[in-house]
């Protein structure tokens, strides 16, 4: 399929670019998207929450009161989970949340997410551009020209551009990423996905 290439002014440049139907024109597989996003979110977790059990509490092991004859429940040491300052019963321990999925499933999920964006008409291709210096004001002007200043927007660059990345850092709802870091979660989390012209050819190499 062919789409227009826009200028950073928001107007059409008159040029068109061909998007691969194998990437942008497939029937989206929502289950693959679910598996990929679940894996991505699990891998973000640190898994280092930890509490002390009764064996790890530092304290006396003296029996608090006699076993029988008090009229109340039996009690061992002060480390008992039933007492204040005692150990936790079945509390969280450090664990790995990492979850791997097959590369083919991950590729299918990214293709499905991009196909969703094409169907929603929330995917744009713009001419290659850069900024002479890191200026938030200049970058925000581009967002305004593209009518995405109040929306979650995701820019994909062919290569890391320090000036563009620094210029976007102070804009809360905008993210600028290298095309090699493309992932399903970021695509679907954004209202508008914007590709720089050069990044399309690199995307074809990654997903084809």
Residue extents of the structural domains in the chain: 2-46+99-207, 51-91
Instruction: Compute the distance between CA of residue 171 and CA of residue 39 in angstroms, rounded to an integer.
Output: 28
The C-alpha torsion from 21 through 153 and 158 to 128, rounded to 10°, is: 100
Q: What is the pLDDT of residues 82-120, one digit of tens each?
A: 999 999 999 999 999 999 999 999 999 999 999 999 999
Q: Give one word for 77, left, alpha or beta, with left for phi > 0 and alpha for psi -120 to 50.
A: beta
State the pLDDT confidence band at 1, using cuts at 50, 70 and 90: confident
pTM equals 0.83
Is 126's pLDDT higher than 90?
yes
Instruction: Compute the distance between CA of residue 130 and CA of residue 185 in angstroms, rounded to an integer.
Output: 26
Instruction: Compute the distance between CA of residue 115 and CA of residue 194 in angstroms, rounded to an integer.
Output: 14
Q: What is the pLDDT of residues 190-200, one digit of tens each?
A: 999 999 999 99
What pLDDT does 2 receive? Answer: 87
Is 79's pLDDT higher than 90?
yes
Please state which architecture CATH assigns to domain 2-46+99-207: 3-Layer(aba) Sandwich (3.40)
State the pLDDT confidence band at 125, using cuts at 50, 70 and 90: very high
How much of the chain exceeds pLDDT 70, in percent? 100
Mean pLDDT, residues 174-184: 93
Q: How far is CA 136 from the centre of its chain?
A: 23
């Amino acid at each position: 399929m062919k789409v227009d290439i826009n200028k950073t002014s928001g107007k059409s440049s008159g040029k068109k670019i061909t998007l691969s139907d194998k990437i942008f024109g497939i029937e989206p597989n929502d289950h693959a998207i679910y598996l990929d996003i679940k894996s991505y979110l699990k891998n973000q977790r640190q898994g280092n929450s930890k509490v002390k059990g009764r064996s790890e509490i530092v304290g006396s092991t003296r029996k608090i009161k006699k076993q029988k004859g008090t009229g109340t429940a039996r009690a061992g040491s002060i480390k008992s989970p039933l007492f204040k300052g005692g150990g936790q019963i079945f509390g969280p321990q450090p664990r790995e949340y990492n979850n791997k999925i097959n590369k083919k499933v991950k590729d299918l999920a990214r293709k499905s997410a991009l196909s969703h964006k094409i169907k929603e008409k929330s995917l744009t291709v713009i001419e290659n551009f850069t900024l002479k210096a890191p200026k938030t004001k200049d970058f925000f002007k581009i967002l305004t020209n593209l009518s995405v200043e109040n929306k979650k927007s995701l820019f994909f660059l062919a290569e890391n551009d320090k000036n563009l990345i620094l210029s976007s850092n102070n804009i809360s709802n905008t993210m600028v990423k290298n095309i090699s870091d493309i992932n399903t979660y970021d695509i679907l989390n954004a209202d508008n996905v914007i590709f720089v012209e050069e990044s399309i050819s690199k995307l074809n190499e990654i997903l084809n």
